[in-house]
Amino acid sequence: MSSASADVVVTGALGGVGQWTVDRLVADGRDVVGLDRRLPAEGGPEGASFFEVDLTDQGETLELVASADPDAVVHLAAIPDPTGHAESRVFTNNTESAYNVLDAAGHAGADVVWASSESAYGFPFADEVLKPEYVPVDEAHPLRPEDAYGVSKEAGEAVARSMARKHDVSIASIRPSWVQYPGEYLTEQNREAFDVDALAARSTDDPPDGGIGNFWSYVDVRDLTSMVTAAVDAEVDGHEAYLCHAAENYLGVDTAALFDALFDEAPPCDTDGDESAFTTAKAERDLGWTPEHTWREAADEDVDGPEFA
């Protein structure tokens, strides 16, 4: 088998976040091996090589990571939500691939940064609106998922903790919000349709819609990739989780007022203005990371993104 050594292995390298991550790492001067279910049509950027793999196959995964002999592994591959697939498939794919990739990284002595999700809290895909215990939500807030995707991310973090102990490597579980791409922000449609009076009038038993599920949070893909690179470079002790959100909600509406409208008895809400319902203070403290992009500029921004898929 042909192989390529790498500074970093990136799984899900041809996905939306994966392409931006590969581009960022290559631009930083790193040699990258990208793993995905297919190969890029255009060959990919200089400084990156690609291999086709089924990450639910432990042997394939172990072989390719071992041959790359990386310093770090960035695990982004997953079925990204519970819609459009059988929930059993979502859970099985995501947990098996996380186990295989993190175990292979551990055997290679590589530190890991992987994409968990804010869905691990249980808010985004809940059948009814779940009330957080407090706002802003931090990494210590209880995880209460019921959907297969959120459960797979909670299980993946359990795998991460075990692999950090087993292999004595550092593993950062990043919990990103709804990822947006410059010039193509899908948050626009939610904001245009939003009506705070309608929010207050709805029944709290109604299913989440219009951004309620993640409390109107988002993150620009460039901020997510900058957290990935910051975590790759950081000295993480064992396993740590980090929220990855924009600094504000995408409505431009006072966050505390939103929770007052959403719940008859709102949770304690220690936010200022339209600050995000999720805090990234831990990432700022540990990783030196803060979000730089906001929907106010990025929604209409003209940026050339990667196009090698």
CA 73 to chain centre: 15
Residue 170 backbone phi and psi in degrees, to 5: -95, 140
DSSP string spanning 97-163?
HHHHHHHHHHHTT-EEEEE--GGGGS-TT-SSPPPPSSBSB-TTSPP---SHHHHHHHHHHHHHHHH
Average pLDDT score, the chain:
94
pLDDT digits (tens, 9 = 90+) for 191-202: 988 888 888 887
Q: How many CB atoms lie within 10 A of CB 303?
A: 11
Read off the DSSP letter of residue 12. S
- Is there a contact between 185 and 295 (Cβ–Cβ < 8 Å)? yes
Topology classification of domain 8-298: Rossmann fold (3.40.50)
Q: Where are the domains of the chain?
A: 8-298
pLDDT confidence band for 309 (50 / 70 / 90): low
Average pLDDT over residues 98-102: 98
- Is there a contact between 166 and 246 (Cβ–Cβ < 8 Å)? no
CA 181 to chain centre: 14
pLDDT confidence band for 205 (50 / 70 / 90): low
pLDDT digits (tens, 9 = 90+) for 257-289: 999 999 999 999 999 999 999 999 999 999 999
- The answer on pLDDT for 174 being more than 70 is yes
- The answer on pLDDT for 206 being more than 70 is no
- The answer on pLDDT for 234 being more than 60 is yes
